[in-house]
């Protein structure tokens, strides 16, 4: 016996006559969720026992009673509840439509359900079919079908449970009569055996079709029939992917552990797919009761009933609770819950499912207003999507899908907001379809699992028919495209790196050299050396550079040259440092060389100055790495880890890449599972802490860097792809959705939504728009190569000129001395290639040789000039020559 602990605890009674569902569910802690306490009585099959169990519950002060499940027991409980004003909630299939006024039933109304089965058969256009049923409750479901009799030929046969589970004779008879379409209505515990026997006798073939009326079809093992190509259609009231169903599965699982703990029995995981309709109805019934109790006044005695079987009292709030039970509507595990004035459930929603290789797929739905609507999946394209009901799955990944922040409790689609949610909403406005958003809690977008041979995440959900559409940051990849269809992309992106912003670098000691790249400095050095050497050589070769050291002496004894090696280098250095020197070239060739160098100097110095200014005004930064290649090389040395979202498109990109470096990234992921994160947000938080580079998609990076101001994108995008909406292959609505998406793109709606969610909402624009302070890049040879070529060109012209000048001079000399030209050439070159000595003796003609002019007095003197190589050596080779024009040329 149980008594209410305090005024807010209401006790609800359970009558369990199967030692099954209710008994197990009784261990779920309702108190936390519903503020209800439970009191359970187990029933045997005698009426007196039922009556005394009900009366004993009344003693506990129950405010409502749930159960039992069998009809015989139910009659007694109903009449007790009716006489004591105790609201009574049933979940069983009730084909006895006479109800007492204190009983409500959560299961679909038999009349309505029967008409749905008839509509389903009619929608398939079946003109003849075999109908198998198994008990009396079956009959109430198939009465609707019997109305189809006049349109069709029906073969009706009972699957007699007394036949020790052998249904083959009935099935064979239908086959013998040539039936290929079958409607099967039987208890879920027998359904597996019926289908298995149909398979055994060869009735599960491509040509055959089945309609299964039992609403628990998804709870049995359909694996053996998946590949038979038989068309198996069923109806489903529990959406195994609804949040409530998943939660329920979890709590049943925990409960079983608690329940069975003492027995140490191993139990398998309960999945939301295993939830039978009656369990779901019970949970929805409790939820409804909980909501109804909210309507009670907050008195201390509201939740206590003092009516007993053997007194005259009845529960004075019973009628209020009952009224509320019939008024309240909500979205439960079994879809929209709404009871009519008689406590019957006539308004509900069903999914029409079909068995495919990937499992049960939703192909349509039934709704009280629209009747049966199919989401056709053939080759035809739908002309419009008006009134189609789509289930849209998404993940709570910012900014694509998020929970709305609101003080008021929200329900349905209203609970969510975000970029993807807005896109679906806009599409629904254009195409006028209805949609229900469901959430994939684990944020898995979809990855192929080799071990299970199945797709996980939202892609798996689309394939299993859990949802018609999947939208989020769902990347279109070639692998996914083989399994599902995508709309055209609504956002374009590529993989990039999210990392901490670089710190500002201290100015470099050699920052003055920064304007030019090292190679340019080297080339400048090379150019300086080569041009100085050219000037030196040309100075020697160029006759005009040999000048009279004493301009007043008309016939000097020797000539001098200013371009020694030292002077040549000094002259060039003076030019490039813009200081000049006292040396001035005289010959055409040397002037040409000097001109080319000055031009080079002018351009290089101005370029250097300009770029230096740019360098001094921008701050350089300490980037640990500049791109993915850099990261791979330096990661170890810098102690940087890198990762991506596990089982996402980014990981798949590296896994499938042929690029060696990218393969290396994947191998690293593989070897270090700790670097992978479950969802993008985890990666972002980790990157923000430092020493972690997160491979992420560029649009998502764009979103995060506006909120995490220490983060930035590093490097370019590594690939080019897009986000799309996924749906099953050859979906007839794909074309319409594509057209609607294109419209949204063309009218700028998508960009508008992107701006809204990226920049304006939820902390957008927090970090401000970063001023682009790109560091000035050092100038490379590509930028200044032309100047070098001009210098080379100038020097080349100078070389040509020097040879011309020299040849003219030698020619003139050979004529004057009447000596063969080549001998003169040889003599000249002999002198030049000594490569030393900047004094050139002068040869004069015989008739003038004896007349020497004193440099001091101007008087003519006959004198043998000392030989520079030694006075004692007689030089027969040298004839001192008179060159009247030398002095003039000097200027």
Cβ closest to ligand GLU, residue 547 vs residue 700: 700
Cβ closest to ligand GLU, residue 583 vs residue 728: 728
Cβ 10 vs Cβ 303: under 8 Å: yes
Cβ closest to ligand GLU, residue 650 vs residue 791: 650
For residues 100 and 89, give the distance between their C-alpha atoms in angstroms, rounded to a whole number.
11
For residues 727 and 563, give the distance between their C-alpha atoms in angstroms, rounded to a whole number.
84
Cβ closest to ligand GLU, residue 91 vs residue 650: 650
Q: Which residues bind ligand GLU (CB under 6 A)?
A: 445, 473-475, 644-645, 648-650, 680, 696-697
User: Across-strand partners of 712?
Assistant: 499
210's enclosing H/E stretch is: strand 209-212
Task: Give which of 187, 75, 66 is closest to 137, Cα–Cα.
Answer: 187
Q: How many CB atoms lie within 10 A of CB 453?
A: 7
Residue 721: is the preceding peptide bond cis (ω within 30°)? no
Which position's Cβ is nearest ligand GLU? 648
Sheet architecture: strand order including 88-90: 36-42, 10-16, 64-66, 88-90, 103-105
For residues 362 and 388, give the distance between their C-alpha atoms in angstroms, rounded to a whole number.
13
What is the nearest approach in angstroms of ligand GLU to the Cβ of residue 626? 21
Distance separating the N- and C-terminal Cα atoms of the chain: 131
Give the position of tokens 């290396």: 664
User: Two tokens at 278?
Assistant: 């009656």
What is the nearest approach in angstroms of ligand GLU to the Cβ of residue 69? 45
Cβ closest to ligand GLU, residue 391 vs residue 698: 698
Cβ closest to ligand GLU, residue 352 vs residue 458: 458
User: Two tokens at 63?
Assistant: 């405010």
What is the nearest approach in angstroms of ligand GLU to the Cβ of residue 677? 10
Residue 748 burial by Cβ neighbours in a 10 Å radius (0-12, 13-18, 19+): exposed
For residues 186 and 192, give the distance between their C-alpha atoms in angstroms, rounded to a whole number.
10
For residues 439 and 346, give the distance between their C-alpha atoms in angstroms, rounded to a whole number.
28
What is the nearest approach in angstroms of ligand GLU to the Cβ of residue 646? 9
475 annotated as ligand-binding? yes
107: phi then psi, degrees, rounded to nearest 5: -80, 155
For residues 369 and 338, give the distance between their C-alpha atoms in angstroms, rounded to a whole number.
14
Cβ closest to ligand GLU, residue 323 vs residue 489: 489
What is the nearest approach in angstroms of ligand GLU to the Cβ of residue 706? 18
Cβ closest to ligand GLU, residue 259 vs residue 668: 668
Cβ closest to ligand GLU, residue 356 vs residue 645: 645
Classify 320 in phi/psi space as left (phi over 0), alpha (psi -120 to 50) or beta.
Answer: alpha
What is the nearest approach in angstroms of ligand GLU to the Cβ of residue 400? 9
Cβ 231 vs Cβ 208: under 8 Å: yes
What is the nearest approach in angstroms of ligand GLU to the Cβ of residue 761? 20
480 annotated as ligand-binding? yes
Cβ closest to ligand GLU, residue 494 vs residue 855: 494
Cβ closest to ligand GLU, residue 317 vs residue 721: 721
Cβ closest to ligand GLU, residue 727 vs residue 886: 727
Task: Give which of 134, 135, 197, 183 is closest to 155, Cα–Cα.
Answer: 183
- Residues shown for the chain: 891
For residues 741 and 469, give the distance between their C-alpha atoms in angstroms, rounded to a whole number.
14
Alpha helices by DSSP H, 177-307: 188-200, 243-260, 277-293
Give the position of tokens 């029939």: 225
What is the nearest approach in angstroms of ligand GLU to the Cβ of residue 647? 7
Cβ 142 vs Cβ 184: under 8 Å: no
Task: Give which of 379, 215, 184 is closest to 281, Cα–Cα.
Answer: 215
Cβ 373 vs Cβ 367: under 8 Å: yes
628-634 long-range contacts (CB < 8 A, ≥24 apart) are 628/497, 628/661, 628/662, 628/665, 628/715, 628/718, 629/661, 630/715, 631/497, 631/693, 631/714, 632/661, 632/664, 632/665
Alpha helices by DSSP H, 454-554: 457-464, 478-483, 518-541
What is the nearest approach in angstroms of ligand GLU to the Cβ of residue 644? 6
User: Two tokens at 13?
Assistant: 């009674």
Cβ 426 vs Cβ 437: under 8 Å: no
Give the position of tokens 């001098």: 560
What does 567-579 look like in DSSP terms, one character per residue? HHHHHHHHHHTT-
What is the nearest approach in angstroms of ligand GLU to the Cβ of residue 678? 11
Cβ 368 vs Cβ 340: under 8 Å: no
Greatest CA span in the chain, whole angstroms? 167
Q: How many CA atoms lie within 13 A of 183 on its CB side?
A: 30
What is the nearest approach in angstroms of ligand GLU to the Cβ of residue 695? 7
Cβ closest to ligand GLU, residue 94 vs residue 473: 473
Q: Is the dihedral of CA 380, 385, 388, 394 positive or negative?
A: positive
Q: How many CB atoms lie within 10 A of CB 877?
A: 8
What is the nearest approach in angstroms of ligand GLU to the Cβ of residue 240? 23
Give the position of tokens 């040329």: 889
Cβ closest to ligand GLU, residue 431 vs residue 447: 447
268 in helix, strand or coil? coil
Cβ closest to ligand GLU, residue 254 vs residue 679: 679
What is the nearest approach in angstroms of ligand GLU to the Cβ of residue 648? 2
What is the nearest approach in angstroms of ligand GLU to the Cβ of residue 641? 16
User: Residue ranges for the binding site for L-glutamate?
Assistant: 475, 480, 650, 697
User: Residue ranges for the binding site?
Assistant: 475, 480, 650, 697
């Amino acid at each position: 016996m149980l008594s209410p602990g305090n005024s807010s605890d209401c006790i609800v009674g359970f009558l369990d006559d199967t030692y099954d569902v209710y008994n197990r569910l009784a261990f779920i802690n309702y108190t936390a969720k519903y503020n209800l306490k439970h009191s359970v009585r187990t029933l045997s099959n005698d009426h007196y026992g039922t009556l005394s169990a009900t009366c004993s519950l009344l003693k506990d002060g129950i405010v409502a009673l749930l159960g039992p499940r069998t009809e015989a027991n139910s009659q007694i409980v109903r009449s007790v509840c009716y006489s004591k004003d105790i609201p009574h909630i049933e979940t069983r299939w009730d084909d006895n439509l006479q109800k007492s006024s204190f009983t409500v039933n959560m299961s679909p109304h038999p009349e309505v359900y029967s008409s749905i089965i008839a509509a389903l058969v009619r929608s398939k256009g079946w003109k003849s079919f075999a109908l198998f049923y198994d008990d009396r409750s079956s009959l109430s479901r198939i009465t609707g079908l019997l109305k189809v009799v006049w349109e069709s030929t029906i073969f009706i046969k009972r699957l007699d449970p007394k036949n020790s589970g052998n249904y083959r004779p009935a099935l064979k008879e239908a086959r013998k009569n040539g039936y290929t379409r079958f409607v099967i209505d039987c208890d879920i515990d027998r359904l597996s055996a019926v289908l298995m026997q149909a398979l055994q006798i060869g009735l599960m073939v491509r040509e055959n079709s089945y309609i299964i009326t039992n609403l628990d079809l998804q709870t049995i093992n359909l694996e053996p029939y998946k590949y038979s190509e038989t068309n198996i259609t069923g109806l489903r009231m529990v959406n195994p992917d609804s949040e409530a169903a998943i939660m329920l599965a979890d709590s049943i699982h925990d409960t079983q552990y608690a329940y069975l703990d003492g027995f140490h029995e191993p139990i398998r995981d309960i999945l939301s797919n295993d939830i039978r309709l009656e369990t779901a109805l019970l949970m929805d019934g409790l939820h409804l009761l909980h909501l109804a109790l909210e309507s009670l006044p907050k008195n201390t005695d509201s939740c206590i009933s003092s009516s007993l079987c053997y007194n005259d009292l009845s529960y004075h709030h019973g009628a209020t609770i009952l009224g509320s039970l019939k008024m309240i509507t909500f979205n439960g595990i079994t879809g929209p819950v709404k009871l009519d004035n008689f406590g019957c459930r006539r308004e509900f929603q069903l999914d029409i499912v079909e068995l495919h290789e990937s499992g049960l797929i939703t192909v349509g739905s039934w709704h009280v207003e629209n009747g049966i609507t199919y989401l056709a999946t053939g080759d035809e394209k739908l002309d419009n999507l008006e009134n189609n009901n789509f289930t849209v799955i998404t993940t709570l990944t910012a900014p694509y899908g998020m929970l709305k922040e609101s003080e008021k409790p929200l329900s349905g689609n209203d609970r969510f907001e975000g970029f993807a949610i807005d896109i679906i909403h806009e599409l629904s406005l254009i195409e006028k379809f209805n949609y229900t958003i469901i959430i994939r809690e684990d944020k898995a977008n979809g990855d192929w699992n080799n071990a299970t041979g199945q797709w996980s995440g939202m892609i798996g959900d689309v394939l299993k028919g859990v949802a018609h559409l999947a939208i989020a940051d769902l990347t279109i990849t070639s692998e996914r495209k083989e399994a599902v269809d995508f709309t055209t992309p609504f956002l374009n992106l590529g993989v990039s790196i999210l990392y901490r912003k670089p710190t500002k670098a201290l100015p470099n000691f050699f920052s003055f050299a920064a304007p030019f790249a090292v190679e340019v400095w080297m080339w400048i050095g090379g150019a300086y050396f080569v041009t100085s050497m050219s000037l030196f050589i040309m100075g020697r070769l160029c006759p005009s550079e040999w000048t009279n050291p004493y301009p007043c002496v008309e016939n000097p004894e020797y000539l001098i040259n200013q371009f020694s090696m030292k002077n040549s280098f000094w002259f060039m250095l003076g030019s490039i440092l813009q200081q000049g020197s006292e040396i001035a070239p005289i010959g055409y060739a040397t002037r040409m060389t000097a001109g080319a160098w000055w031009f080079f100097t002018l351009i290089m110095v101005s370029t250097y100055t300009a770029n230096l200014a740019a360098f001094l005004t921008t701050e350089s930064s300490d980037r640990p790495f500049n791109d993915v290649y850099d990261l791979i090389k330096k990661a170890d040395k810098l102690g940087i880890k890198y990762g991506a979202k596990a089982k996402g498109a980014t990981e798949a990109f590296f896994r499938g890449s042929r690029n060696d470096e990218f393969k290396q990234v994947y191998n690293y992921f593989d070897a270090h599972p700790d670097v992978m994160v479950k969802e993008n947000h985890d990666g972002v938080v980790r990157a923000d802490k430092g020493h972690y580079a997160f491979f992420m998609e560029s649009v998502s990076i764009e979103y995060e860097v506006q909120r995490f101001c220490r983060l930035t994108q590093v490097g370019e995008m590594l690939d080019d792809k897009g986000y799309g909406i996924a749906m099953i292959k050859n979906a007839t609505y794909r074309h319409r959705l594509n057209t609607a998406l294109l419209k949204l793109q063309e009218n700028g709606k998508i960009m508008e939504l992107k701006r809204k969610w990226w920049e304006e909402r939820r902390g957008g624009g927090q970090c401000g728009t970063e001023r682009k302070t790109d560091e000035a890049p050092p100038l490379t040879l590509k930028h200044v190569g032309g100047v070098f070529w001009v210098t080379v060109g100038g020097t080349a012209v100078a070389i040509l000129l020097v040879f011309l000048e020299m040849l003219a001079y030698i020619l003139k000399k050979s004529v004057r001395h009447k000596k063969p030209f080549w001998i003169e050439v040889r003599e000249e070159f002999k002198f030049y290639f000594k490569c030393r000595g900047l004094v050139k003796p002068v040869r004069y003609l015989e008739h003038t040789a004896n007349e020497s002019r004193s440099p001091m007095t101007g008087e003519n003197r006959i004198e043998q000039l000392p030989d520079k190589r030694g006075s004692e050596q007689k030089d027969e080779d040298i004839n001192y020559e008179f060159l009247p024009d030398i002095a003039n040329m000097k200027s």
